[in-house]
């Protein structure tokens, strides 16, 4: 069981990292998006496929940015703190050219206190 202080610290780190990811995407910065993932993170983007590792994930986001996707926004995000070092974010999302559902963003607290994505599973609907 996590204390209120631990829970609050995880929420603060996840909210900050998620905001940084969205800002990077909206600025057209695929490298800035990718740095929010752990080095060996996994991402499942339906219907596009699965991507493993920061380099493959960056290439995915760069391709979307190159195709003119931007203006990502989360719709009614919910964050569930799992333990003192991780949380899961679920949300609807929309962009200028698409929308969908985030089934699972597993954010894990790193040694420096920041949160990074270990798993990302979303789909376009």
The pLDDT tens digits of the residues spanning 12-32 come to 999 999 999 999 999 999 999
Measure the CA–CA gap between 15 and 102, rounded to whole angstroms: 15
Using DSSP, state whether 84 is helix, strand or coil.
coil
53 φψ region: left (φ > 0), alpha (ψ -120 to 50), beta (else): left
Q: Looking only at Cα atoms, what is the longest distance across the chain?
A: 44
Residues in the chain, overall count: 125
> How does the average pLDDT of the chain come out, rounded?
96
In terms of Cα–Cα distance, which of 47, 56, 69 is closest to 121? Answer: 47
Measure the CA–CA gap between 19 and 68, rounded to whole angstroms: 20
The pLDDT tens digits of the residues spanning 52-63 come to 999 999 999 999
pLDDT at 1 over 70: no
Q: What is the pLDDT of residue 17?
A: 98
Using DSSP, state whether 15 is helix, strand or coil.
helix
CATH architecture entry for 4-124: Roll (3.10)
Chain centroid to CA 108:
11
């Amino acid at each position: 069981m996590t204390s209120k202080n631990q829970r609050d610290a995880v929420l603060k780190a996840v909210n900050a990292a998620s905001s940084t990811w969205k800002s990077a995407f909206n600025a057209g910065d695929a490298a800035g998006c990718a740095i929010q993932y752990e080095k060996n993170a996994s991402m499942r983007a339906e219907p596009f496929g699965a991507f493993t590792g920061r380099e493959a994930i960056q290439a995915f986001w760069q391709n979307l940015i190159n195709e003119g996707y931007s203006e990502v926004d989360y719709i009614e995000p919910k964050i569930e703190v799992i333990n003192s070092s991780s949380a899961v974010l679920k949300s609807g999302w929309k962009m200028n050219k698409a929308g969908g559902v985030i089934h699972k963003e597993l954010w894990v607290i790193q040694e420096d206190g920041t949160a990074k994505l270990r798993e990302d599973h979303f789909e376009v609907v």
